[in-house]
């Protein structure tokens, strides 16, 4: 038996310490797939909820209560700090973040001032204090998060969700200096947000670079990596484990590790065993069940969970989906996965 230390299971696994079982949580576990969220949502928009500590804390805690996951993730959105500094961004139902005046020129950079959470969004620290007051005694950590500069830039430049990120790439390739300055501003805002979240009680952080998989290796190395290295250097000062995640990044995994991240999130397109060979041993791995598997019959879910547990490294694995919980997921299903991972990996640890 591995004796549990004072630190939460998730934090120990992120540090690649031997653990008594594999921790499990789900990206986008709060919100859209839960009936209890839809009830709270009747009281206000997503942005309104993030400015109400009682409601934001309640929604953050809902999946912990219902599914029994090993971590909570703050209920917020990657564009919330941008809205808080006055960028005209709105979250439209069924679409996602929409920016009224997209960013296209150097003059637009002046719209990205520093994020001072204490003044711009006092609800942030208050929400986290309410959450950790409830979770602390249970030994369950809160994960703080932010959007990575490229993914945030894609919403600002495109004006909303985009499959190809063509305008974003066009700016990156035609005016690399402007693009670098935009990423640097966004990295600063991301760091300011994460610092506040950790100061208020978050015990791990995740940087969502959801759409970075549309870049080539050379593009990532030339245009993104230098900014990400600086960001992760700055985040190291916070003293908590740092995860980087993007969708469709099988070709970028070693470069994502070069940011300095402590853990690399892996989507479902690549086997964990192959990811393990690509990512240096010092990094933990998170993933990587296809979210669509949660829509399949129980026996399919069980076989897929088993396959992932078997291909996972012996230390430094955090069980998660390869991307967020899909809105149509039955609210009972994630809890079944939690119980299965617990059963399978406790057996593995004591075998
Ligand atoms: O009003 C609503 O309920 C709208 C749905 C919704 C919710 C519940 C959106 C719109 N955002 C959120 C909350 C949210 N967003 C959370 C907290 C919930 C949780 O994780 O449990 C988190 C972590 C995010 C992060 C987020 N927002 C990402 C990164 C993760 C990922 O899924 O890749 C991204 C890319 C966004 C943008 C966004 N916000 C909302 C939507 C529908 C989208 C994606 C739009 C697109 O396809 O580009």
Whole-number Å distance between alpha carbons of 22 and 317: 7
Nearest CA to ligand 1 atom 39: 96
Q: Residue whose CA is closest, atom 20 of ligand 1?
A: 28
Is 37 part of the annotated catalytic residue set?
Answer: no
CA of 75 to the centre of ligand 1 (A): 9
Considering the candidates 12, 37, 70, 77, report the single residue annotated as catalytic.
Answer: 77
Question: What is the per-residue pLDDT across 80-99, written as a single tens digit (0 to 9) for each?
Answer: 999 999 999 999 999 999 99
User: Which ligand 1 atom is nearest residue 94's CA?
Assistant: 42
DSSP 33: T
Choosing from 15, 32, 111, 269, the catalytic residue is 32
Q: Is 316 left (phi over 0), alpha (psi -120 to 50) or beta?
A: left
| pLDDT tens, position by position, 171-228 | 999 999 999 999 999 999 999 999 999 999 999 999 999 999 999 999 999 999 999 9
Mutate to test the pocket of ligand 1, among 56, 60, 65, 96 (most ligand atoms within 8 A of CB): 96
The string of pLDDT tens digits covering residues 276-309 is: 999 999 999 999 999 999 999 999 999 999 999 9
For residue 38, count CB atoms less than 10 angstroms from its CB and return exposed for 0-12, middle for 13-18, buried for 19 or more.
Answer: exposed
- Report domain 9-350's class: alpha beta
Quick one: residue 86, left, alpha or beta (phi over 0 = left, psi -120 to 50 = alpha)?
left
Q: Does the annotation mark 307 as catalytic?
A: no
CB atoms closer than 10 angstroms to residue 210: 20
Q: CB within 8 A of 277, min separation 6: which ones?
A: none
Which residue carries 């690549």 as its tokens? Answer: 270
State how beta strands 284-289 and 72-73 pair. unpaired
Domain boundaries, given as residue ranges, for the chain: 9-350
Nearest residue (CA) to ligand 1, atom 23? 28
In degrees rounded to 5, what are phi and psi of residue 26?
Answer: -130, 130
Q: Known catalytic residue: 111? A: no
Gap between the Cα atoms of 59 and 42, Å rounded: 13
Distance between start and end Cα atoms, the chain:
10
Catalytic residue among 12, 16, 21, 41: 41
């Amino acid at each position: 038996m591995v004796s549990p230390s004072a630190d939460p299971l998730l934090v120990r696994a992120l540090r690649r310490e031997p653990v008594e079982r594999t921790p499990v949580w789900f990206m986008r576990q709060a919100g859209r797939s839960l009936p209890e969220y839809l009830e709270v949502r009747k009281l206000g928009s997503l942005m309104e909820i993030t400015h109400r500590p009682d409601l934001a804390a309640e929604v953050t805690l809902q999946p912990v209560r219902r599914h029994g996951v090993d971590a909570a993730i703050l209920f917020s959105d990657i564009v919330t700090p941008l809205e808080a500094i006055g960028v005209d961004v709105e979250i439209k139902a069924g679409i996602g973040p929409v920016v009224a005046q997209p960013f296209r020129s150097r003059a637009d950079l002046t719209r990205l001032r520093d994020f001072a959470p204490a003044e711009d969004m006092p609800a942030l620290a208050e929400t986290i204090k309410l959450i950790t007051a409830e979770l602390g005694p249970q030994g369950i950590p809160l994960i703080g998060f932010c959007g990575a500069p490229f993914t945030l830039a894609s919403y600002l430049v495109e004006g909303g969700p985009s499959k190809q990120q063509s305008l974003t790439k066009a700016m990156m390739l035609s005016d690399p200096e402007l693009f670098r300055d935009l990423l640097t501003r966004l990295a600063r805002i991301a760091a300011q947000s994460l610092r506040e979240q950790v100061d208020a009680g978050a015990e791990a952080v995740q940087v969502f670079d959801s759409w970075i998989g549309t870049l080539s290796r050379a593009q990532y190395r030339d245009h993104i990596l230098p900014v990400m290295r600086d960001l992760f250097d700055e985040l190291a000062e916070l003293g908590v484990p740092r995860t980087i995640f993007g969708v469709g990044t099988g070709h970028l995994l070693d470069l994502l590790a070069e940011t300095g991240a402590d853990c690399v999130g892996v989507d479902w397109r690549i086997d964990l065993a192959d990811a393990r060979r690509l990512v240096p041993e010092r990094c933990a791995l998170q993933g990587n069940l296809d979210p669509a598997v949660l829509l399949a019959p129980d026996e399919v879910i069980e076989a897929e969970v088993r396959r992932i547990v078997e291909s996972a490294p012996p230390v430094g694995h955090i069980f998660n989906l390869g991307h967020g919980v899909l809105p149509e997921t039955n609210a009972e299903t994630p809890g079944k996965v939690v119980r299965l991972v617990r059963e399978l990996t406790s057996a593995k640890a004591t075998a």
